[in-house]
Structure 1
Amino acid sequence: MRRVIRKVFVSKVFERKVVLVTGACAGIGRALAQRFAQAGARLVLLDLDQAALDSLAQHLRDHHNVEVLALRCDVAEAAVVEAAVALAVEQFGGIDLLINNAGITHRSRFADTDLAVFQRIMQVNYFGALHCTRAALPSLLARRGQIVVLSSLSGFAPMLDRSAYNASKHALHGLFETLRLELAGSGVNVMLVCPGFTATDIRKKALVGDGSVTAQPIPFVGKVNAPQDTAEAIYRAAVRRKRLLIHSNVNWLARLLARLSPRLFERWLVPRLSGVVRR
């Protein structure tokens, strides 16, 4: 009986709630949009590709009978984000859950990486989440809502040739762990999500040192999670209003090694996780 009650509870938590997802058209973002649509949420989808947004929005309306507002938005642009959030609040009355999912990566050594690459990755990964959170915070406070931030295992342990990406994820932890403390008692929950390797297109669109898109996608290493599995884990963690979700294909022994013997971890495991062979 308890299992039935719990299942019903999980399925109803986000019914008619307003969920805003950035980077919504592909990978984990798309899977999250579909999962929250299944839960009956009203969706605000932000992405750069308007045609893909329109297609996804129609798919969600047709298959899940939900309300969807799909807006082209570069999260790196504060004024554009503010306008998109204002439109969402005007149409739906507020925002209950903000999912900062938009992100990009690169693969290049620090010494070979143009300053513009560092700036662009921080603009999207860090400032994008900051802009969205600042714009949505008044509504989240009024509705005692929730902020979910897609970080990475690189927020705990670095990957080779990803200095800008790693830095952006560390910055997210610093920002949102501080924000969590400042929001204590407000009713707003902040959850950091650290997925392992997931089958998304981010690796195919990775930048290289000069800012162009890689011609050789970053290889997967070991077991790879499906975006749908990651989205399901995030959904269930959001229902429970968790503070941290590590959904990783890198087992707990590797994470323990990173903390107890960082030198051995860096020498032995980091190159393998990064898909890099050093000679």
Structure 2
Amino acid sequence: MYRKVFASKVFQRKVVVVTGGCSGIGRALVLRMARAGARLAILDLDPAALDSLVRHLADHLNAEAIGLPCDVAEAEQVSRAIEQVLERFGGIDVLINNAGITHRSTFAETDLRVFQRVMAVNFFGALHCTKAALPSLLERQGQIIVLSSLSGFTPLLYRSAYNASKHALHGLFDTLRHEIKGSGVNVMLVCPGFTATDLRKNALVGDGSVTRHPPLAIGKVAAPQDVAEAIYQGALRRRRLLVLSNVDWRARLLARYFPRLFERILLPRISGLRPSR
């Protein structure tokens, strides 16, 4: 009983910034943090979706929130948005770097602009937001949560740019964790598996356009609400790494210690392809 009561108060009145907060895992995290009593700053590209979500939070959850149109790939836009958050709320307690895009195309057929855009959003977006928010997070001994992926530790076919961006996130935030050790700021990397979000539906193809084909069949797909709840529980415990893969721990162990076996057995399946017979 006491533990439940304490847990329900951890994020009460805390200021939580969520990037890519209008859909998918981001929206589910916004709603979960609102139910925990947090004050929300939501960054997203879609002004209409932001307005609708902020109204929903106020009307249905009595939550205090602001919506800020922002392309996290643009450092100046991020700086302005974080300044607005600080002016409105006075500080930041939790930064959730959730915004991301993906693609489905072979390396040879993927235009350089696709690599640049995926890295700009997935890697530099998280870098920009963390750079801007870090002084306040240090002051308030807050938390940085970074949405990585199953592909942060295992390759996925036809997603070379996406895989590269997620590996880069691990390099950046594992280093940051060590550099600010003792500051009271926690850094948690989250690696969900395949999740039912618009990320998969709006994947880019090699020329930079959005795919017109449905997502590949990849077995069990998690609900954003379930992923958000797991992240919330991980944040309560201030975890360092949270792996939520549908393929679970076996993919990670096989990829690291038995790469040839992983490539033969699991790689085709988790990439959305049938294993060759």
TM category, shorter: over 0.9
Output the CA distance in 2 between the equivalents of 1:173 and 1:161.
20
Q: How does 1:104-183 map onto structure 2 within 5 Å?
A: 104-183=101-180
What's the TM-score once normalised by structure 2's chain length? 0.98
User: Aligned AA for 1:180?
Assistant: R
User: Aligned AA for 2:75?
Assistant: A
User: Aligned AA for 1:155?
Assistant: G
SS at match of 2:99: coil
Output the CA distance in 2 between the equivalents of 1:209 and 1:252.
31
- Contact 2:255/2:262 (CA < 8 Å) preserved in 1? yes
Instruction: Please list the CA deviations of residues 178-217 of structure 1 after superposition, one character each: whole Å capped at 9, or x if unmatched.
Output: 0000000111110000001111111110000000000113
User: Aligned AA for 2:50?
Assistant: L
SS at match of 2:63: coil
Please report how far the alpha carbon of residue 81 of structure 1 lies from its aligned counterpart in structure 2 after TM superposition.
Answer: 0.2
Output the CA distance in 2 between the equivalents of 1:252 and 1:127.
28
Please report how far the alpha carbon of residue 243 of structure 1 lies from its aligned counterpart in structure 2 after TM superposition.
Answer: 0.4
Output the CA distance in 1 between the equivalents of 2:39 and 2:146.
19
Q: How does 1:22-101 map onto structure 2 within 5 Å?
A: 22-101=19-98
Aligned to 2:234: 237
Percent sequence identity is 72
Output the CA distance in 1 between the equivalents of 2:45 and 2:273.
31
Output the CA distance in 2 between the equivalents of 1:23 and 1:217.
22
- 1:225 is the counterpart of 2:234: no
Number of aligned pairs? 276
Candidates 6, 11, 14, aligned match of 1:17: 14
Q: How does 1:181-196 map onto structure 2 within 5 Å?
A: 181-196=178-193
User: Aligned AA for 1:63?
Assistant: H
What's the TM-score once normalised by structure 1's chain length? 0.97
Please report how far the alpha carbon of residue 229 of structure 1 lies from its aligned counterpart in structure 2 after TM superposition.
Answer: 0.5
For structure 1, the 5+ residue unaligned runs are none
